[in-house]
Amino acid sequence: MARADRPALTPPAPDDPPGGAAARRAVEALWRIESARIVGALTRYTGDFDLAEDVAQEALAQALVAWARDGEPASPVGWLLNTARRRAIDHFRRRAALDDRYAALAGGLGEGGASSGAEPPADRSDDPPWDPDRIEDDVLALIFVACHPVLSPEARTALTLRVVAGLSSEEIARAFLVPVPTVQARITRAKKTIGAAGVPFELPPATERRERLGGVLSVLYVIFTEGSTATSGDRLLRPGLAYEAIRLARTLTALLPAEPEVFGQLALFELTAARFPARTGPDGEAVLLEDQDRRLWDRSAVRRGLAALTRATAAGRGLGPYGLQAAIAACHATAPSVSETAWDRIVLLYEALGRVAPSPVVELNRAVAVAMASGPQEALPLVDALAAAGRLSGSHLLPSVRGELLSRLGRTAEARAELELAARLCRNARERSVLLRKAATLG
């Protein structure tokens, strides 16, 4: 297994212990849910980001063997932390030059005893496996370290998905269409950069936290966006990625309750994910918004999203980029149908979004809203201007929108050509099939 990767579980071999398959499932589930807490706690105790990942991985490997033989322990997380910390202590013992650091580590953990993992739990399995007053700070610190501004945006995303979300290099590579060695190199360089820069494992000071929050939010946005509409492959959605981003966004709102844009992002994620159940058909085919059965939308997620949006607006600072996108998503989530959607309001919201976070995609989406509010004849010049500027060159989004507008204007041959171009540029098989189906209906 690669260092700190989620275990690459495989079907049990004929000579595996009887509990081998169950142990593999248990380790997989535990790492997926608790990896950030485990690595965060270990990093705080060892003071070494790289070592924390190493000993966590060693503990996972040992769990596969021990749990298959003895069964899953009563406190699986505590077992992993105890095992990993013993490995860390062994590591410090082997490094004579760090004897004083090991002594400080071992002595400092004495107060926590079994709960910290420095000593075996010995009939105290009900004790928390970490300090309950520190663990959420550990997770937040882990997020801020992984998203440190000394790293490139690509490295931040890769490192966050590895150490916070617990994804393997292979999973990250598949999600972002890059070779596995590229992902591994990014993660390795990111760790070395953090070490060379002397980045401490701690929350940044309050004065810096807000400045660095934008980087954290942008990483979560990239993760959620890839989960909500996969860049490539034969699946429209990658819900595991999207729900991981939602989980992290909820963590941020709990830990940074005074930051409205954190709530704005959570609202956007919840309201977008609420439509997941209706976005694909029984065979995984994409279902367009106008064809979706809104009864399938997750109304609990809608309520959570609207509540988060209320928190974002309550601060009175005005909505930021994520809050504005959430407000747009709220218009869709609360409308009975496409025709009854508040398209005029959506146009205004996109105009506001274009002022605070200008991008060609925002302009393209505004053109779509203009078409719905005022007709395709009003929107087509906006799309043509984007095409003339070459600002979305190589993207399937612009020709797909242009083809739809031309179709509504009765310019069938041009519309078909645009939709066929969009299909050639689209790397997601499900989206491509929708585009080809639309083109085919035009004769």
Q: How far is CA 62 from the centre of its chain?
A: 28
Spatial separation of the C-alpha atoms in residues 241 and 343, rounded to whole Å: 30
Vertex 318: Cα angle to 316 and 323 (nearest 5): 115
Give strand pairing partners of 428: 233
Spatial separation of the C-alpha atoms in residues 406 and 84, rounded to whole Å: 61
Spatial separation of the C-alpha atoms in residues 381 and 368, rounded to whole Å: 12
Give strand pairing partners of 280: 286
State yes or no: pLDDT of 97 exceeds 60: no
pLDDT given at position 241? 79
Task: Between 441 and 22, name the one with better pLDDT.
Answer: 441
DSSP state of 162: I
Lowest mean pLDDT among 161-170, 178-187, 281-290, 394-403: 161-170
Spatial separation of the C-alpha atoms in residues 3 and 6, rounded to whole Å: 9
DSSP 295-312: GGS-HHHHHHHHHHHHHH
pLDDT given at position 344? 97
Q: Which amino acid is at 206?
A: A
State yes or no: pLDDT of 302 exceeds 50: yes
Nearest CA among 411, 409, 410, 367 for reference residue 385: 367
167: tokens are: 């994804």
pLDDT given at position 103? 59
Spatial separation of the C-alpha atoms in residues 165 and 35, rounded to whole Å: 7
State yes or no: pLDDT of 110 exceeds 80: no
358: helix, strand or coil: coil
DSSP state of 94: H
pLDDT digits (tens, 9 = 90+) for 334-380: 999 999 999 999 999 999 999 999 999 999 999 999 999 999 999 99
Tokens 């579980």 sit at which residue? Answer: 9
Spatial separation of the C-alpha atoms in residues 96 and 93, rounded to whole Å: 6
pLDDT given at position 349? 98
How much is the average pLDDT of 402-426?
A: 95
Q: Which amino acid is at 194?
A: I
Spatial separation of the C-alpha atoms in residues 439 and 127, rounded to whole Å: 62
Count CB atoms within 10 A of the CB of residue 198. 7
Lowest mean pLDDT among 122-126, 214-218, 313-317: 122-126
Q: How far is CA 233 from CA 220, 223, 398, in A?
A: 21, 16, 20
Spatial separation of the C-alpha atoms in residues 310 and 260, rounded to whole Å: 9
Q: For the chain, give the percent of residues with pLDDT over 70.
A: 85
As to burial, measured by CB atoms within 10 angstroms (0-12 exposed, 13-18 middle, 19+ buried), residue 70 is: exposed
Give strand pairing partners of 261: none
State yes or no: pLDDT of 440 exceeds 90: yes
Q: Is there a contact between 222 and 215 (Cβ–Cβ < 8 Å)?
A: no
Tokens 């159940």 sit at which residue? Answer: 277
Average pLDDT, the chain: 83
State yes or no: pLDDT of 122 exceeds 60: no
Give strand pairing partners of 233: 428
End-to-end CA distance of the chain: 52
State yes or no: pLDDT of 128 exceeds 60: no
Spatial separation of the C-alpha atoms in residues 246 and 254, rounded to whole Å: 12
Q: Is there a contact between 238 and 223 (Cβ–Cβ < 8 Å)?
A: no
